[in-house]
Amino acid sequence: MTDQPQLYLVSPPEIDLETFVPRLEACLDAVPVACLRLDLATRDEDAIARAADTLREIAHARDIPLVITDHWLLAERLGLDGVHLSDGPRQVRKARKALPEDAIVGAFCGTSRHDGMTAGEAGADYVAFGPAGETALGGGARAEAEMFGWWSEMIELPVVAEGALDPVTLRALAPVTDFFSLREEIWGEADPAAALRGIYDALT
């Protein structure tokens, strides 16, 4: 790969729209963003729908697709561009069949190369692996740079690196990933747009 990886923003698990919207808009206007994902922890359908309506307007005004984590039955109803499935390849075929032909279907496959290949065969538009950086969360397993390198060389399906993306990991994976999925890396900062700009500048 020679092209610079694109940036893929993921919402925090909890958001207050009044305070989140200006922070999000500042990020989307700071650097080119390829995709936005709504990934809320709540199971409140009305809250998800309100957030989706707001973020859809913001994203679509900038020609950025908005996908939602897991709730593929809501994606079409809410006018979203697709779904990100967090449980690997299991639901890819169902989501692919249920959604419009041009909808985005992505699959997070953890550290499993096999799951990634299965998701691709089932019709996923991209596969995400992670955590890509070192973390003490979960069992501490990590999607190693070697796997991204193998994938980018052998598989045409776009690959996303996500989770614990510190500067060292970003630099190491830049030549072998298509997208960096960013969440805590920016929303945990006092100025998310400045943090995002710093990541973008480091990659260019």
pLDDT surpasses 70 at 140: yes
Share in percent of the chain as helix, strand, coil (round to 5): 45, 15, 40
Longest CA–CA span in the chain (Å) reads 44
pTM: 0.96
Model confidence over 144-201: pLDDT tens digits? 999 999 999 999 999 999 999 999 999 999 999 999 999 999 999 999 999 999 999 9
Alpha helices of the chain — where are they, by DSSP H? 17-30, 45-60, 72-77, 92-98, 113-122, 145-154, 167-173, 184-187, 192-203
The pLDDT value recorded for residue 12 is: 98
* DSSP structure string for 75-99: HHHTT-SEEEETTTTTTHHHHHHHS
Residue 139 binned pLDDT confidence (cut-offs 50, 70, 90):
confident
The mean pLDDT of the chain is 96
- The string of pLDDT tens digits covering residues 44-63 is 999 999 999 999 999 999 99
Q: Work out the percent of the chain whose per-residue pLDDT is above 70.
A: 99
Asked whether residue 10 carries a pLDDT value surpassing 60, the answer given is: yes
Contact 75, 85 (CB under 8 A): no
Render pLDDT for 15-37 as a digit per residue (tens, 0 to 9). 999 999 999 999 999 999 999 99
Q: What is the pLDDT of residue 178?
A: 98
pLDDT computed for residue 135 by the predictor? 83
Hey, where are the domains in the chain?
A: 6-203
CATH 3.20.20.70 fits 6-203, yes or no: yes
Please give the backbone phi and psi of residue 14, each rounded to the nearest 5 degrees, phi first.
-130, 130
φ and ψ at residue 126, rounded to 5 degrees: -155, 160
